Structure 1
Amino acid sequence: MLPIERHRQIMEELNLHGRVLVSELVKLCQVSQETIRRDLSLLERKGLLQRSHGGAVVAQKYQGNLAEKSNSPNEHESTFRLRMNENPQAKTLIAKKALDFITPGDCILLDSSTTCWFLARQLPDIELTVLTNSLHTVQTLATRSHIRTICLGGEYFAHNGDFNGVVAEQPLKDFLINKIFFSCSSLGNDGYLRSANENNAHLKQQMLMASERKYLLIDSVKFLRPSFARICHYREVDFLITDSLKDKELQQELAWNGVNIIDCSQRHNVMQLMNSQDI
Structure 2
Amino acid sequence: MNHQNERNQTSDTLDGINRRQLILQKLEEQGEVSVNALAQEFSVSPMTIRRDLHLFARQGILETHYGGAHLCKDRNKIPDFPARIEKMLRYKQAIGRTAASFIKEGDTIFLDSGTTSVQITKYFPDVHATLITNSMTAILQLGTNRKLKLVVAPGTYREQIGGTLDISTVEFLRRYHVNKSFIGTMFCSTDFGMTTSEELDAELKRTLCAQSDQSFLLADHTKFTGNSLVKFTEFWDYDYIITNKELDPALQDQVRKLNPNLILC
TM-score, normalisation: structure 2? 0.67
After superposition, the Cα gap between the structure-2 partners of 1:199 and 1:259, relative to the gap in structure 1 and judged at 3 Å, is farther
Supply the distance in 1 between the matched residues of 2:179 and 2:210 (Cα, whole angstroms). 11
Tell me the distance in 1 between the aligned counterparts of 2:125 and 2:246: 28
Q: Which residue of 2 aligns with 1:99?
A: 100
1:71-94 CA distance string (max 9 Å, x none): xxxx83211111111111111111
Question: Structure 1, unaligned stretches of length 5 or more?
Answer: 1-69, 265-279
Matched, 1:253 2:254: yes
Is the contact between residue 191 and residue 234 of structure 1 (CA under 8 Å) also seen in structure 2?
no
Q: Map 1:162-241 to 2 at 5 A.
A: 162-241=163-242
Q: Greater CA deviation, 167-176 or 123-132?
A: 167-176
Structure 2 equivalent of residue 35 of structure 1: none
The Cα of 1:141 is off from its aligned counterpart by 0.7
CA RMSD of aligned residues (A): 2.0
Preserved contact between residue 94 and residue 241 of structure 1 (Cα < 8 Å): yes
Q: Residue 195 of structure 1: CA displacement? A: 0.9
Report the counterpart of residue 149 of structure 1 in structure 2.
150
Letter of the aligned partner of 1:220 in structure 2?
A: H
Aligned counterparts of 1:165 and 1:208: Cα–Cα separation in 2 = 18
Counterpart in the other structure of 1:158: 159
The alignment status of 1:82 with 2:79, answered yes or no, reads no
- Counterpart CA distance in 2 for 1:210 and 1:131 is 12
Displacement, 1:124?
2.7
Please state how far the C-alpha of 1:218 moved relative to its aligned partner: 0.7
SS in 2 for 1:174: coil
Indicate if the aligned counterparts of 1:234 and 1:259 stay in contact, CA closer than 8 A. Answer: no
Checking the alignment, whether the CA contact within 8 Å between 1:125 and 1:144 is kept in structure 2 is no
In the alignment, is the contact (CA less than 8 A) between 2:81 and 2:159 conserved in 1?
A: no
TM-fit CA distance, 1:166 = 2.3
One-letter amino acid of the structure 2 residue matched with residue 234 of structure 1: F
Match of 1:19 in 2: none
Give the count of matched residue pairs.
Answer: 192
Contact 1:237 1:259 in 2 (8 A): no
Identity rate of aligned residues, in percent? 27
What is the CA distance between 1:243 and its match in structure 2?
A: 0.9
Structure 2 partner of 1:136: 137
1:38-53 pair list within 5 angstroms: none
Tell me how far 1:111 sits from its aligned partner. Answer: 0.4
Distance 1:97 1:171, change over 3 A: same
226-235 vs 177-186, greater mean Cα deviation: 226-235
| 116 and 246 in structure 1: CA distance in 2 versus 1, 3 angstrom threshold | closer
